[in-house]
């Protein structure tokens, strides 16, 4: 396995260096896509050892991930590890995802967050619980506890077969549904999540609504959503 890490980041100068430095020991290469940041995100990422691609303006997380995937698919990477740049994903969990891919021969490994109402913001708890159940039952055809988790490991052979079009956070669900429909072998591993000190840019109601519309379009109009 040759694993590249892909981190989409927007105005994360205070945290991106720690994320890059934390994940570097576990992967062959770190690629950061700076999605039009107005701070020193790019410089901090490079200083920590990452290769950086920069969008001149903010295009959305989905667009940044698609840029990173396109670049990674020209490399020798066999797997792409996706994680966020805001510090909420613990780089120390990376070996667990990589080991699951190796041991279970999985093409797509989801890092599933603990859904604890005591520690998770209420809006995230309910939107994630409801959307994950619906997506698992009606769109993926397998039990998935955290369909919107951005911490995941995907084989590049799978990514080459996917046409991704989402521009926002809904890309995570689009990627999962399309990979599952194309026969990708799924695995799930628990991960840690740190909310302290990191302000998420996700807007639960808006972004979950967009995700649900995307899933419905794919289920009922698949010929228009390839």
Give me the chain's average pLDDT, please: 85
**Domain residues for 219?**
3-224
CATH code at position 175:
3.90.550.10
Q: Enter the pTM of the model.
A: 0.81
Q: Residues with Cβ < 8 Å from 109, sequence gap 6 or more? A: 97, 100, 101, 152, 153, 154, 186, 187, 188, 189
Per-residue model confidence as pLDDT tens digits over 127-148: 665 566 556 555 555 666 577 7
- Separation between Cα atoms, residue 179 and residue 144, nearest integer Å: 13
- Separation between Cα atoms, residue 197 and residue 200, nearest integer Å: 10
- Separation between Cα atoms, residue 172 and residue 144, nearest integer Å: 13
Per-residue pLDDT for the chain (226 aa), expressed as one digit of tens each?
999 999 999 999 999 999 999 999 999 999 999 999 999 999 999 999 999 999 999 999 999 999 999 999 999 999 999 999 999 999 999 999 999 999 999 999 999 877 665 656 665 655 665 566 556 555 555 666 577 789 999 999 999 999 998 888 889 888 988 898 889 999 999 998 776 555 555 555 565 666 566 666 665 555 445 5
- Separation between Cα atoms, residue 11 and residue 200, nearest integer Å: 11
Per-residue model confidence as pLDDT tens digits over 14-37: 999 999 999 999 999 999 999 999
Burial class (CB in 10 A: 0-12, 13-18, 19+), 76: exposed
Q: How many domains does the chain have?
A: 1
- Separation between Cα atoms, residue 131 and residue 110, nearest integer Å: 15
């Amino acid at each position: 396995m040759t694993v590249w890490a892909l981190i989409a980041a927007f105005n994360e100068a205070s945290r991106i260096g720690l994320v890059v430095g934390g994940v570097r020991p576990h992967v062959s290469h770190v690629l950061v896509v700076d999605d039009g940041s107005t701070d020193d995100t790019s410089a901090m990422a490079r200083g920590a050892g990452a290769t950086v691609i920069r969008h001149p303006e903010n295009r959305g997380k989905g667009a940044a991930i698609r840029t990173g995937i396109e670049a990674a698919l020209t490399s020798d990477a066999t797997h792409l590890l996706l994680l966020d740049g805001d510090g909420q994903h613990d780089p120390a969990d990376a070996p667990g995802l990589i080991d699951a891919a190796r041991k279970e021969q999985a093409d797509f490994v989801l890092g599933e967050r603990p859904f604890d109402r005591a520690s998770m913001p209420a809006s995230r708890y309910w939107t994630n619980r409801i959307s994950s159940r619906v997506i698992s039952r009606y769109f993926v055809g397998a039990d998935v506890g955290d369909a919107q988790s951005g911490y995941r490991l995907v084989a590049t052979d799978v990514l080459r077969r996917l046409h991704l079009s989402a521009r926002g956070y809904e890309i995570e669900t689009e990627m999962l549904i399309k990979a599952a429909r194309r026969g990708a072998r799924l695995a799930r591993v628990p991960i840690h999540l740190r909310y302290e000190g990191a302000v998420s840019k996700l807007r639960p109601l808006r972004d979950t609504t967009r995700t649900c519309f995307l899933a419905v379009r794919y289920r009922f109009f698949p010929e228009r959503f390839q």
